[in-house]
Structure 1
């Protein structure tokens, strides 16, 4: 325990100089029975006398949202309200309007074709639908410019996420906006907005009292323990507060990146997954449902695309793995298909967020962990080093003890 405390303290700034440091970090390790370790270090804002960063510090978690919200989606699947292989175009007509971008003419006009294939819920949850993110894709930005489109995904609107598909559904892997249409499907199926449904189905049953899509709904409650997002200066390595935030009242509640929450709440969801996998009761979902989430979902050709993408963007996407680690994708995260030496076992699932938070769930070892920080851009080298040290310490000092007790 002291080793993990020491690692966290080593990476946070003690005074005004934040170069090569974080303002704060919180880390929780759990098993199916409870918390194995929880600790935090640093502070919440640039002011040296600001409140301490803690496991109940409240912040935007970006794509760390997915593991939480997809539990809510899978609750609908478990109930029989929808199937993973249902065509979502019947439920979300906006999907039926998306065309395939085949290229551009010599005078830079987009070449578009209608999509005739089903877009299944499985495609949306595993990034196999071909729906990208405009601001991260030069071709989609070129398409936007060519039609005079001003909306982007940063607007958190349906129009902002509605872009042409880069390939027919099921033929590739592209991390982008497909999950947002899964969120729309949840709203259309249930007749509730995403916050209402997730609160009723996931947040309240798991005791996640500080989790919401609406930032201002908890302002008074969490003001003293809120950590705004920081941006690292690429030249000096120092931190400054960024003025970009999710809109206060977004038109589209983002299933993929819309949550504000605490590390404490996030760990409750991960622990629920471990309980479900153990098959002893007490988890939010049935064992078979969670096993499906952790099952590799990609075809051989899709895995090849995932490999190419993660090879190209290794340090941003999968820095915890050595180059060449065979990977697949489950429902909500990447799965490593071999043991990672000194770290997690094969069959573990992980993901991260734009603000550099990370989580993993290791079914074989029976543990899960979540790291909360608040710095951009993604792939921050300081966080990568911190995360690596924390994970190695967990498997060096805690996992053996945890497994002996089971």
Structure 2
């Protein structure tokens, strides 16, 4: 048993995780590590193992796929990263900018704004949107309308929100990828599900293992993992979470959060992205995918935003130390410097609500992804496990490099 096997086996035995799957490889395409642990469900009478064929909700790890889909549409001449997307998405930005809230009158203070909102802004979280569950101001706005945060069936229900700042002037983590996925649908006249199947999943041979609607597909439904949760203090043992709807009533293809996929299939996708597979994008588009998108002001706003509160750091920092400068690409969060024993400079990360995470470390030549289905979101003790996984893969890559 390797060190990392032991770490996850102990986490399963302690009840921190019902199950998990880890996959890593070299950027030349070789899989260097693949291991799964524990169970896919804590439901009574269900004893399915968690494997690399278990169907998982990956939540915000959907964003990387949507960024690729948008860039494919740009290559096709159907979308333009620099054009105002309001004509494609008529409900975007219609509430203007929220500047405050009148508690006595229970009304938001809104300022009209018609600044162009581009796909570049939507994919880099500089459009002015913020998730309402992260923003107290938007939370008040929702409550004043008798609405819950991020609820409803469509992108419009969930994400037609007041903006927090003038588009292009700052950074906030929001539903830009949901809107960008909707732009793909408008531009192509098809669903994001059908577009991704034709342009991403089928070319990579993973179409039977990925969907926005796994419960409608017999081949996937029986393999779905069930979400579990730790207690209110975030302590084990985890228990089944039958009432938690990870889509909060969503029925649209949610480009920021809606894909269900197996660890093996998602890792095939991350591997293809890491080695810049021509099945997905042209070289110039991969350059755009990985390029830091933030100017100096936006980058400072990102770093301030991640450090704004413990919950922001937990959800967004990926356990990257505060001392390491961060930027943002269409792919995800960029660590501009390396961290000794863990990753090299320019490594890109992102994760998802059920404490899932991926990384691409091109300077070291490795990628990896860790899957589980456990709440609360991005639980610190689980992310600590994933960091140990990353460190082990880094150490293995360095050792192999020194021996070759």
Is the TM-score greater than 0.5?
yes
Query: In 2, distance between residues paired with 1:365 and 1:167?
Result: 37
- Cα distance change, pair 248–112 in 1 and its aligned pair in 2 (3 A): closer
- Cα distance change, pair 55–185 in 1 and its aligned pair in 2 (3 A): same
Aligned equivalent of 1:347:
346
Q: TM-score, normalised by structure 1?
A: 0.91
Deviations for 1:25-60, whole angstroms, at most 9, x for unmatched residues? Answer: 101012232311111111112258712111111121
Contact 1:66 1:257 in 2 (8 A): yes
* Residue segments in structure 1 that go unaligned for 5+ positions in a row: none
Aligned equivalent of 1:136:
134
Aligned equivalent of 1:27:
22
Secondary structure at the counterpart of residue 37 of structure 1: strand
Aligned equivalent of 2:35:
39
CA RMSD across the alignment: 2.1
Residue 307 (1) aligns with residue 306 (2)? no
Contact 2:67 2:177 in 1 (8 A): no
The correspondence for 2:53, drawn from 56, 65, 68, is 56
Contact 2:81 2:120 in 1 (8 A): yes
Query: In 1, distance between residues paired with 2:209 and 2:158?
Result: 28
- Cα distance change, pair 8–253 in 1 and its aligned pair in 2 (3 A): same
Secondary structure at the counterpart of residue 187 of structure 2: helix
Aligned equivalent of 1:268:
268
Deviations for 1:87-128, whole angstroms, at most 9, x for unmatched residues? Answer: 101111111523111213463422212112100001000111
Secondary structure at the counterpart of residue 69 of structure 1: helix
Q: CA deviation at 1:79?
A: 2.3
Q: Between Structure 1 and Structure 2, how many residues are aligned?
A: 394
Contact 2:151 2:248 in 1 (8 A): no
Note the 1:4-403 alignment, pairs <5 A.
4-13=4-13, 18=15, 21-31=16-26, 32-46=28-42, 50-105=47-102, 107-146=105-144, 148-150=145-147, 152-157=149-154, 158-208=156-206, 209-218=208-217, 220-235=218-233, 236-242=235-241, 243-246=243-246, 250-276=250-276, 282-311=278-307, 312=309, 313-401=312-400
Q: CA deviation at 1:287?
A: 1.9
Contact 2:131 2:174 in 1 (8 A): yes
Q: TM-score, normalised by structure 2?
A: 0.91
Contact 2:214 2:220 in 1 (8 A): no
Q: CA deviation at 1:69?
A: 2.2
